[in-house]
Amino acid sequence: MQDSPVRLLLVEDNPMHRKLIQKLLGEDSQLRCEVEAVDNLADGLTRLVKGGVDLVLLDLVLPDSEELETLFRVRLVAPQVPVVVLTSLDDVKLAARAVESGAYDYLVKSHLKSVSLGRAIRYTLSRARARGGEWDSPMFRLAQQQFLKAAQYMGLDDNLRQRLLFPQRTQMVSFPFFRDDRAQVETVFGYRVQHLLSMGPTKGGIRYHEDVDLGEVAALAMWMTWKCALMKLPFGGAKGGVRVDPTTLSDRELQRLTRRYTTEIIDIIGPDKDIPAPDLGTDERVMAWLMDTYSQQVGHTVPAVVTGKPVVLGGSLGRKEATGRGLVYLIEASARHLGLQLSGATAVVQGFGNVGSHAARFLAERGVKIIGVGDASTALHDEAGLSVEALTAYADEHRRLHGFPAPEIVDHDELLELDCDILVLAALQNQVTVENAARLECRLLAEGANGPTTLEADDILQERGIFVLPDILGNAGGVTVSYFEWVQGMQNLMWSLDEIHERLQAILLDAFQRTLTRAEAQHLDMRTAALIEGISRVTEAKLMRGIFP
């Protein structure tokens, strides 16, 4: 579901119509919104001037304005805020002129249903984002700022600096898929971004989330480039995504969406081109559908086109838990460096999806007491320790932690500020910021998520002596075992689980030691040191290959 509600301004003078529209909005399970209603245009314009409105639902005939004049005045005051017209005027010519004048949709009240209203709002917001600054995302700005900071320390040649700031290849698509009732056709936006093509095939996950945009996918692709280079894997970074809430889709709808998305990007993926994998909102089933769709198109089975697929289809043992397991290998190494004894230590885990749940389990196996856990639905605290086994069983049954019996429920901000030895960030980006970094009470901050800490927060954490295990190192276990899976697929062989664990640990600890050595030698924070390790390898490859022609 959406992390924050859509803020709607309803400008409608008929009280019955206001109630009807609000009732229809409440019936749409895919839409969470806050509705503020006014009954005249003057009050509507005043509210728009204050800002903070995502979309306007606008009646054209109001006590103080009529027809297109109403739309013109709204557009004049707030040209960037999308407008959906809701009117009693069933006039095709007027509808055409309204859309021509900047309205995103034109709905007649007498024909209004919950499905059509909710869909119009979702499409409008998607189109507005696509028309607006798709690149201008906080995540992409963070990725670029981190790169530029590392480049400054490196003295990176300006030609390479400019070249690596943006992806080499970007594909943005929009496509339809049928809902189960076959009466609805949804249109969604999809992306595949390949940041670097110089190091071999590109590699990166596919996420399904309602907040996916081009900037977010580009940031993740950039981080994947540095991650692969840091691990010395023969890949460039890539990422893909579809802007959709997968929790609102049935299994059949999810499969149709995946197969159609695959056909849209099929020309740029392949085992020697670009290899997708699971990410937020996707799993091994989605990878199986993607592999099957690709294989049907080329006429033979191609297991190596994706990683993270079921073992029976050529997936690798240990892939599902690889990111969480790898994070704990690195937490062990960090603890040794800090002189922290894991047995008896305390940990808080933010995020209880694939990464967070496995990290919590592996930490508990090493004697760490998990005193706090949270997901999007709730945050739990127990100073005596929470049972990871019970948490996992509950989450598997209910798909979230809300309702789990715990001694104390805390808010999400409090969870991060609990006194603990280890804080694991395994949720979303921008969790530790300049606002809360000074209140963290951990010795070790381990990043299993992508981009969870801002640059300003990094400075505060370093000043406070909190050891940060950065994301491009901390969550690299997933792509490393994906590399193992790709190798096994290309060679038609299978490695044992012990072999995979041994190889994974060796690669991660080598990267950790190189990063730590650089950080200490050059008096850098661990994130900048890890970035320089990755960027240096990419720079060497770029210079060796030269420029064509």
Contacts of 516-525 with CB under 8 Å at 24 or more apart are 516/337, 522/153, 524/153, 525/458, 525/462, 525/468
Q: In what order do the strands lie in the sheet with 33-38?
A: 33-38, 6-11, 55-58, 83-87, 105-108
Omega prior to 15 cis, within 30 of 0:
no
- In DSSP notation, 357-377 reads HHHHHHHHHTT-EEEEEE-SS
281: tokens are 């909102």
In the block, residue with structure tokens 């199986």: 288
Helix (H) or strand (E) holding 482: helix 477-491
Sequence-distant (≥ 6) Cβ neighbours of residue 491 within 8 angstroms: none
The span from the CA of 498 to the CA of 504, in Å, is: 10
Q: In what order do the strands lie in the sheet with 274-278?
A: 169-178, 185-194, 236-243, 202-209, 274-278
Among candidate residues 517, 499, 505, the one with its CA nearest the CA of residue 480: 505
- In DSSP notation, 429-479 reads SS-B-TTTGGG---SEEEE-SSS-B-HHHHHHHHHTT-EEE-HHHHTTHHH
The span from the CA of 276 to the CA of 202, in Å, is: 9
Q: Do residues 190 and 175 make contact, with C-beta atoms less than 8 angstroms apart?
A: yes
Q: Do residues 188 and 119 make contact, with C-beta atoms less than 8 angstroms apart?
A: no
Phi, psi of 302 (to 5 degrees): -130, 80
Q: Do residues 102 and 123 make contact, with C-beta atoms less than 8 angstroms apart?
A: no
309 catalytically annotated: no
Catalytic residue, candidates 149, 239, 309, 320: 239
What does the DSSP 8-state code read for residue 223? H
Q: Do residues 359 and 426 make contact, with C-beta atoms less than 8 angstroms apart?
A: yes
30 Rama class: left (phi>0) / alpha (psi -120 to 50) / beta: alpha
Residues classed as catalytic: 239
